[in-house]
Structure 1
């Protein structure tokens, strides 16, 4: 049984690497490419936004369907297929139409990420959930890292079509590997109703940690995936430097996700890790716009890697910690739909502040949200401690 579990978990991690490679290999140069082929900046924004909006719409319904069917293998097959086919559209139609359709398909693929996580975590006990979450997020980050390295090294030499061909290949490899997963549909699945599943949104932990993840993902999308790159360019950084900066961030994310799956996490309590991570993210948002050196900005990219590697792992595992197993997919769908809101609206708000005021003020807004998240997490932890003490005394 242990051998079978090891094979299945390793297979899932391999599929995850292929999946996220396919989803992100073209990302570092997507905006640059679209602007070079004379697509307006407004239309570029709509194309990029299609990825987040499709996730926002689909993640909760996909979670409900996954719970109702219990067939996670099917969703992983569909997700891997869509991740690859999305790049086929970018290759065949290398214009605004191809990238718009491709980003909708990529967003649809990302909505199935719920099943990747739930299936992987199902092989581990309750006590092992934080470690398991960290391992699959490390595989997630590693796939993105490989994508960033590939595009950074090859984009100038081979162009966008070939980069997208790598994404197509990785998605189809993940799709083929998915056929070797164990079928997850039970012989007698529990009878569940949609309203019963939706009741998970009342869970206190799910609501809190979904809100905190909204901030973390929103800040990440607005900084490391967007405006930090613009600051590097304004400081004289080349396309290669932009790629190198993204690689530093992803290396940091992979390293800290790996550490989060070991006893390193025991150095602090979960409360302390969450609080200190938001504090560091806030400081990052204060320091980046004040930096006068590309090298310093690149060095600061290590900080959001902690946010992705440790903070996001903890927020994910804690969000579903008190949810019944049969409702896990719905809870995860809600969690991912909520943080997709952050991924969508934070860059929009930051961009508006940048246009109306300045880049420094945009980063100050992001820093403020991190410090608010810090205070909320501390307040919740204090309340929970008092509640437990009351129970113990009574």
Structure 2
């Protein structure tokens, strides 16, 4: 296998950042944009949730196809193409169908993330999955942060359609660069293609199923809050484009920092379950605290801590999803993982939209805090079960040694 050059890694990093920037350049202004166009809160919840709804059905088959053909690049090209189409659909005026279609297409775009993660993991040696996922999480957060920071400025400085126009242009640039990507030779020659007989084995991987359940709940919280209704709460407090940008920065910067240092600092000290559990309990507290936020400053504080908390568990869950899976099945495993957590991306904002209609935005935030509490409870249960299993294994080994 020829090593991946620094230029190729830089190219991949650039494409990844453009990919996420194009998808998130309109996210902070999306719910206010739809509200200003006269759409109801339940419909806004449907539009926000449709992004995850598509991924529930597309990501897993896409991962299987990627493993079946042993190719990642074509799916990355597809991702950049659908990112551009998604933004353009939002620009078509005067009908409820187009914003829904635009967000559905964004879901197709996000489904190709399977190929991005598996290709990048293949750039690293065995045992370095955690490091690879930490790095790519930083790329993800960087692209999302750039896009979301641009969003308010574009909307205020130009017009409400400007974020979608710029998003389409960014995606077009990423599409051209994607054609220049190269895949490692092992992906193409040395590794056998994924057989359908292997899918059952991948799907039954215990760690994959556990982290998928946690990720469903984590993404439910995320898409109810910062990627859902938090900007609308800020707007109700009188926040314009500049304050929305501040809110995004307050969330994304701690999120990026935590994603960068989690594998290096926190996991070696507190272990996987300890770090993930800490992230969930902090996220639960901050989401519940949003109900009592009576000023923009307090809202910003909750999002800063929430961003850091989610940066603790998101990269770890991503890495654990493929840790125990052999290379030929990793896209399948990642596809299943991402398809399952898309349930949270869809159901979180969808259910919160209906709760918000009856009880105001605080109803949705309380629901989000309940999801976080459920995730923390699962972490505690699985951690205790793992400790018990470990103690029994040690006791059994000692018993065998004494008999010997």
TM-score (norm 2): 0.90
1:161-199: CA deviation from partner (whole Å, max 9, x where unpaired) = 332221112111111111221145523652533242143
SS at match of 1:268: helix
1:66-101: CA deviation from partner (whole Å, max 9, x where unpaired) = 110111011111111111222233335575343333
SS at match of 2:182: coil
Aligned to 1:143: 143
TM-score (norm 1): 0.92
C-alpha displacement of 1:260 = 2.5
**133-142 or 30-39, which moves further after superposition?**
30-39
C-alpha displacement of 1:345 = 0.8
Q: In structure 2, what is the Cα distance between the partners aligned to 1:323 and 1:175?
A: 30
Aligned to 2:392: 390
Residue 319 (structure 1) aligned with residue 321 (structure 2): yes
Task: Report the aligned-residue RMSD.
Answer: 2.3
Aligned to 2:13: 13
Q: Is the 8 A contact 2:287 2:366 kept in 1?
A: yes
SS at match of 2:161: helix
**315-324 or 229-238, which moves further after superposition?**
229-238
Aligned to 1:210: 212
1:253-297: CA deviation from partner (whole Å, max 9, x where unpaired) = 112112225345434322211111111011112211112221011
Residue 308 (structure 1) aligned with residue 328 (structure 2): no
Aligned to 1:333: 335
Number of equivalences: 394
Aligned to 1:346: 348
Residue 59 (structure 1) aligned with residue 77 (structure 2): no
C-alpha displacement of 1:367 = 2.1
Q: Is the 8 A contact 2:87 2:164 kept in 1?
A: yes
Residue 281 (structure 1) aligned with residue 289 (structure 2): no
Residue 377 (structure 1) aligned with residue 350 (structure 2): no
Kindly tell me: are residues 193 and 312 of structure 1, through their superposed partners in 2, closer, same or farther at Cα, counting changes over 3 Å?
A: same
C-alpha displacement of 1:357 = 4.3
Aligned to 1:126: 126
Q: In structure 1, what is the Cα distance between the partners aligned to 2:40 and 2:362?
A: 25
SS at match of 1:127: coil
1:21-48: CA deviation from partner (whole Å, max 9, x where unpaired) = 1111012222333333444555444433
Q: Is the 8 A contact 1:131 1:260 kept in 2?
A: no
**226-235 or 75-84, which moves further after superposition?**
226-235
Aligned to 1:105: 105
Q: Is the 8 A contact 2:199 2:329 kept in 1?
A: yes
Kindly tell me: are residues 6 and 385 of structure 1, through their superposed partners in 2, closer, same or farther at Cα, counting changes over 3 Å?
A: farther
User: Structure 1 unaligned runs (5+)?
Assistant: none
Kindly tell me: are residues 279 and 287 of structure 1, through their superposed partners in 2, closer, same or farther at Cα, counting changes over 3 Å?
A: same
Q: In structure 1, what is the Cα distance between the partners aligned to 2:269 and 2:194?
A: 40
1:317-363: CA deviation from partner (whole Å, max 9, x where unpaired) = 11221112211111111111111101111222233334444654543
Aligned to 2:31: 31
Q: Is the 8 A contact 2:203 2:333 kept in 1?
A: yes
SS at match of 1:65: helix
Q: In structure 2, what is the Cα distance between the partners aligned to 1:337 and 1:259?
A: 27
Residue 79 (structure 1) aligned with residue 79 (structure 2): yes
Q: Is the 8 A contact 1:34 1:95 kept in 2?
A: no
Aligned to 2:4: 4
1:91-150: CA deviation from partner (whole Å, max 9, x where unpaired) = 355753433332222111110000000000111123221121011111111111111111
Aligned to 2:203: 201
Q: In structure 1, what is the Cα distance between the partners aligned to 2:359 and 2:81?
A: 43
Q: Is the 8 A contact 2:152 2:240 kept in 1?
A: no
Aligned to 1:158: 158
C-alpha displacement of 1:210 = 0.4
